[in-house]
Amino acid sequence: MIDFTRTRGKFHLPEGVVYLDGNSLGPMPVAAGERLSRMLADEWGDQLIRGWNTAGWYVQPRKVGDRIARLIGAAPGTVVMGDTLSIKVYQALSAALELNPERSVVLSDSGNFPSDLYIAQGLLRSLERGYELKVVEPEEVEDAIDDTVAAMMITEVDYRTGRRHDMKRLTARAHDAGAIAIWDLAHSAGAVDLDIAGADVDFAVGCTYKYLNGGPGAPAFIYVAPRFADRARPSLAGWMGHAAPFAFDLDYRPAPGIERMRVGTPPVIALTVLDAALDVWESVDMRDVRARSIELSERFIAGVETACPDLELGSPRNSHERGSQVSFRHPHAYAVMQALIARGVIGDFRAPDAMRFGFTPLYLDLDDVDRAVALLAEVLDRKLWDTPEYHSKATVT
């Protein structure tokens, strides 16, 4: 088992704060600032445009992609970085539909992140070919997979409840029905032990600013199974995904393999920060992370249910059926969370009534969990949340 006290020291954590919101935005690794300073001075500053070759900026998307591949159970050369998660969802879904042209249904569930559904709605409307986005309850996904489904597009871990789908079973069910399986790993990568190659996933996408600690707006990643790597056509085709970008051909020819999923100029500064953040993971086994996150979350649930009986657990009780976050429901969840944050325990709120708490073993321990439980109980017992300042919602909740 890894020594998590060692990894904790690699993060900048404000004094007196228990940070339970790494499922939304990870804290800053200490090395990120140092690496970025060097990059700005030594690479951009001194090398100027030569940095694309001499500092390796051009190959960053693949090199960083390979580092993430290890954490999600993918082979080297199957993951590439760049752009936002929404763009990667668009690329994966459009490619999947073209690979399965005789079918008309995209299947998703109500636990999917809304942005994924928005992307699907916009894409299907623009295609004007009678496509249907079918959204069912999470428990109904397996039964809804039939011979009309072109692509199943699912977020593995529900952003509100932490409910975790059985990726291997649902992917196999999709394949048996002739559908393509697309998985969003935004709340999975860096949180749970994944084996997307072993699960035979077709496409996977994810962000890196949550559990992977890449910073606000850090670039997203996309995985394409090797069987589709030279067949998938990204309808959002940019010059960095061209077979010969610097030939400046007027017609698009896709690059071989995963490189075709690149779009525009890579965000070099952001990728530099992410690369530094991934250094923390080099000696980390995701099975250890998963075991520790279950230990932390189980202790939190037990403590909250003892000390705060008025709260309702909004996540699956079985630890193997949820990711690395726990939600509790309260009619005034937003105000309660604001009062808790004011006292140094940072979680977040998701409409309509969920308080979310993320458990990230790289920098949390059992003492943090116990402190969070005690302060939550105090906020509720003394009704410290019931003041106008805590009821006034900020733009970002």
Catalytic residues: 113, 184, 209-210, 356
Burial of 367 (0-12, 13-18, 19+ CB in 10 A): exposed
Residue 317, amino acid: R
Handedness of CA 83, 84, 87, 92 (dihedral sign): positive
Closest CA to 363 of 181, 244, 190: 190
Closest CA to 213 of 67, 315, 382, 374: 67
SS3 109: strand
Spatial contact of 23 and 35, defined as CB atoms under 8 Å apart: no
346 DSSP β-pair partners = 19
SS3 182: strand
- Cα 205 from Cα 121, distance rounded (Å): 18
- Cα 313 from Cα 397, distance rounded (Å): 20
> Both tokens of residue 52?
């694309």
Spatial contact of 117 and 108, defined as CB atoms under 8 Å apart: yes
Strand order in the sheet with 354-358: 312-313, 325-329, 354-358, 348-350
Handedness of CA 322, 278, 181, 240 (dihedral sign): positive
Spatial contact of 280 and 7, defined as CB atoms under 8 Å apart: yes
> Both tokens of residue 130?
């009678």
Locate all alpha helices (DSSP H) within the chain, ordered by sequence: 4-8, 30-38, 46-47, 51-54, 60-72, 85-99, 114-127, 141-144, 167-176, 268-278, 286-307, 333-342, 366-381, 388-391
Residue 18, amino acid: V
